[in-house]
Structure formats: structure tokens, C-alpha cells
Structure 1
Amino acid sequence: MIRSFILVAASLVLHLAAPTRLWVGNSLPLSDTQHSALLWCLKWALTLWATTDINSILNRWAENKWLWKTDASGWVWGQEIAVVTGGSRGIGACVVKQLVSYGIHCAVLDVIPLSETFTDDERRLVRYYKCDITSPTAIHSAAEAIRSDLGSPSILINNAGIGNGSTILDIPFENVQRLFQINILSQFSTVKEFLPDMLAKKKGHIMSVASLASFVSLAGAVDYSCTKSGLLSFHEGLGQELKYRHKCPQIKTTIVHPNWTKSAITAHPAVEAGLKRIGAKLLEAEDVAGAMVKQIIAAKSGQLILGPGISPKIRALPLWLQELVRDSQAYVVNGSGTTG
């Protein structure tokens, strides 16, 4: 923003002090008409630049729940405890490994044991709890065990998620039900378990992993798209409740929207062939995890768009343009099956 004001001021000085004919270098004189055109372009370009900067600042202010300053001094990473659902493999495991590198203790909730990629040193800061997160009772039991073993967590990363690859008519209802239980309903249970302690301490960070499917629904993955757009509503509503029901904007909330990432979902035959057809470049799980952990360490709220920056703006486009975007993705998910 400061650089925009400097440039605007410079343009005003130029406008007031410039001679009738402006020389560029030693050999390119500008006529009065060209000079006026240059000033007009400069004025509007700088105005647009300043407006963009101001908009970015307002966006960051809003994301931070109208708090001007982000104070990370209250976080002592060697004393913090993070809960990561689906943290045994994939993006979740990468997140755990990177959190541990800061000395953060991690409690992993998963139905499968920790992968062999964890070193002995990392495992000293990681505690695995076998937990089926489709069950609120199982989540409560795991939360009680975490509080007893480690203490009250200050970080909750709702990472667990699965995908199905079937049309609305073909998918068994039990598959839809399980996907909703894992991808979104479990987050109601985890937040119910861990938010009260965060409120008592006025410190915490709750992160949800969504997808660019939050903004574009995919044929053959309607249930998945529904849960990811639902997570965006969950994130927005949670932020509102923290500000106006609990009077605790200090608790950070983040939602992550990765583009297609190397994972069990993208490796599934129902998806892999479609991604190759459109020439999609997959993100690495480590890079997605890196952005997530960076947000945690910065103690900032917000939305992380790990893909085309225009993605959240798609819903603001004319309907015919929205439909063209959806059409371009119509055969990415083309098959049947589930990753969970």
C-alpha cells in the first residue's frame, strides 16, 4: 500500500511539474497528445494498483476477524499440542512431520497406524490414537485420552477426507453417508471436543482441509463437492460464532483449498485417467502441508487457495462462464469406487 501511495504522489508531481513536451531518454519526444495519454494511463494504472493493495489489506483484516495485529508471542511451540485427523499418511502425515520439526506434540486420529516414513525422533513427539471419526463416541474417547496423556490441544487440524467416484444414481447410499461423516460431520464432533479448552485459554487454531471443489462441483463426485463447499460454510460460520457468540476472535480459523494433490484420491483409477486427460499438474503433499504449517506458525486466520487464484471468484462470474468451467472438468472423475 505504501508503494502505491508513493507512486501516486510521484505521478501527481509529474503531472504538475512536467513540461509541455516530455522527452523519454535522448531521442523520443512525446507530443502534447501523447503526453496527455501517458498521464491518463499512468493515473488510472496507479489508481487500480492502489485499489488492489487496499482491497488486499481489507481482505487480510477481515480474515483476521477484524484484528489489526497478529500476535504469535503467546505460542510456545515446544509446549503446544496439535490434533491431526487422518494424520497417518498422505497430506496429514506430512503436516505432522512438519509440526514436529517445530517441537509441537501431535496426536494423530486415524484408523490405520502411522506410516513407516516417521523416524524414531519424530515418533517421540507423536502419539497415535486409533479412532474411527465417523463415530462421535470414538472421537470423545480419543479426546479424553489425549487430554489425559498430553494435555489440552491448542491446534486442531481436520485433515481426514475420502472421495467416491460414482454418479448420483449409481453410488450406494451407505457410501454417501460415510463420506459425509468423514469429510464434514466429524468436524462438528472434533470442534465440540477441543474448542471449549481453547475458549477458556483464548488461544487456539482450527484448520479444515477443503478443496477447489468448494467452488466448482464435479460430475461423478457430487457428494465430495457437497462436503467441500459445506466446509467453507462451516469455516465461515465458526468464525462468526467465535466473534459474536463466544467473544473470542483471538482463536484462529483457517480453511485450505488445495488443487489436485498426489494422494489416494488422485491415484484412484476413477480419477487418475481423467486428470491425465486434462493434463492436470498435481501438487505434492509436502507442499500442501508446508503451506498449512506456515499458516499455523504465523498464527493467522484465513483461506489458503493452493491453485488458481481465480477459483474463489468463479461463483461471481456470469453463469455461462461458470458452466464452461464446470464443463471443462466434467470427465475428470469418470469411474466408480471409493478411497476410504
Structure 2
Amino acid sequence: MTRQVLTDSFGRRIDYLRLSVTDRCDLRCRYCLPKGFKGFEEPAHWLTVDEVARLVQAFTLLGVSHVRLTGGEPLVRRDLPLLARRLASLPGIEDLALSSNCTRMETLAEPLFRAGVRRLNVSLDSLRPRIFEQVTGGSLELVLRGIEAARRAGFSPIRVNTVVMRGVNDGEIESILEFCAERDFTLRLIETMPMGRTGQAVLAEYIDLQEVKQRLERRFELIPDILPGGGPARYFRLSASATRIGFITPISQHFCATCNRVRLGVDGTLHLCLGQENRYPLGALLRAGLTDDELIDQLRAAMALKPEQHGFRERPTQVPRFMAMTGG
């Protein structure tokens, strides 16, 4: 087959796939999964390594070159290094990245790097152990050890993702920025999103990141910058340094007009928008015996369902699924 281009109904080129390898997680972040949640997909319904590789290969034939492994928490999937190695070897894959909470990275950093994963986004919402535990239910020390293991293994760039919550961690943004600057990490601040009842429950903690940016500008000179492969963040560089900070603002300043991504759930459900319910059953169709040509046709058909934009601000309660069920 000839390598082609995948576009949606609005002319946006889709070249980025976020691939959920599991919907399970070993943390319970207050904006993502509720404590005691048991409604995970059965492992028997997860796509196998061969099925994932076949789907991703179909995407690459339509011009998708950037794949990010997500969850839930991807490190809880036992065959993740094997899966990563298969994907890294596929023709057309130019960038294989990982989003993780790094709780298990001490043992998995080197195997994943050897498998071909190079870029890492780390979820880190606080540098205060008590606040970190309140937000995630986990151990800050374990996560910091995991981040250091990833740095030693060679992951680069490493980007720290911080969901900013008013009255919770908004007072320590400068400290997290200094932590990143000391290690040559990029900090990305993220607005809370009303995904599922957990995300909707923390709407009272929502903070417009323009407010945070204005506060930082009183201390730092922020110079507009561009970061290749930086996703939807608007980036700035701190004057007289190489330190970058990005602002991901799905509520206050959405970036739907330039959206270049789709999300594949662990069972093969294709989610066309994080903030809408538009989906397509690729996994079920794959297991029904589609040929490669038919699979390509189905991917093209799915793009017709990708909406023009989300409705987080206008309809904040419309998305019942939790973030972990979507693939980040």
C-alpha cells in the first residue's frame, strides 16, 4: 500500500496516535479515578501485542508517525517492553513516547529505553509528600526515584505534567519549575478537565492558567517559544536559560482547530475527541476478520466522526467516562 494522509472532515491532518495499553492504574488521582474503582476492562478484552501492532501499522500507512503509550498507567502492563519493541520496529514510526506516573520506572526504565521508547511525559502534581499523597494516593519518593531512573537510562526530553488545582498545588508552581530547571526538564501546566464524575467533582479547583502565567511573568521573563513534538501546549522559554514552560488550556483557550490526534483504548475503541463521546469500534472490527485494505477503509470512515471541537466549557457534565478509560 502507498503511504497516504489521514484527514478529518475539517481538513485537519491526523498524524498522532495516543495508544492506551491498559485502563488500570496503581494511583488514584483525584481528578481521574475514584478510590475503590473496580470497573476496569477485562484483560481478555485487551488488544494483544499482535493486534496492537497491526492496528498501528494501518495508522502508519495513513501517515501517522507519532505514537504515545498511555494508560491508565502503562507500566502496569507486564508485556509493555515487548509491545514497545514491536511498535518501534514498524516502518513509519518516527517517534515512540510514553506517558507515566513513574511509580515502576526504577525497574522498567532501561528495558523500555532499549525497546525504543525515547521521550517521556511524567505526571507530577506536587513536590510536597503530603499533598502528593492527598492528590494521588501514592508515594512522592517512589515517583522521584522513577524519574531519576528514567533520566539515567537516557530518556530525553523529559516533560513534567502538572495539573494545577486552586488551593491544592497552585502555590508551588515556582518550586516545581525550579525542580525542572535544575534537571533540564520541561514543565507543562494543565487545566483540570471535567472527565467523569471525578473530573467534574474538582471543577471548584479549576484555575485559568492565564492567571498562573501572569503571576509567573512578575518573576520571570517568558519568551514565546516552539517545542517540536510539544503537543497542544503553548510554550515559553525563561529568559537567559534553556528552561521551557508550557500551558495546556483545554478550557480557557482550547486548541481544537489544530488537533492532530486520536486515542485508541485498550479494547480497540477509537476515541475521536477527549471531550466528546464520538467513538469507533476498531477492536471489534479487527477481530471480525477485516483484511488490511478493509481496515484502512475503516480508519478513514472513523475520521468522519471526529468533531470540530470539544464542549468542556459549554457542557461540562457530558463526558461520563473517566480519563483513564480514554487513554490520557
Common topology (TM > 0.5): no
* Higher Cα Rg, which structure: 1
The structure with the greater share of residues assigned to strand is: 2
Compute the TM-score of the two structures, normalised by the length of structure 2. Answer: 0.32
Which fold has the larger relative contact order, with Cα–Cα distance below 8 Å and residues 6 or more apart in sequence?
Answer: 2
The structure with the greater share of residues assigned to helix is: 1
Compute the TM-score of the two structures, normalised by the length of structure 1. Answer: 0.31
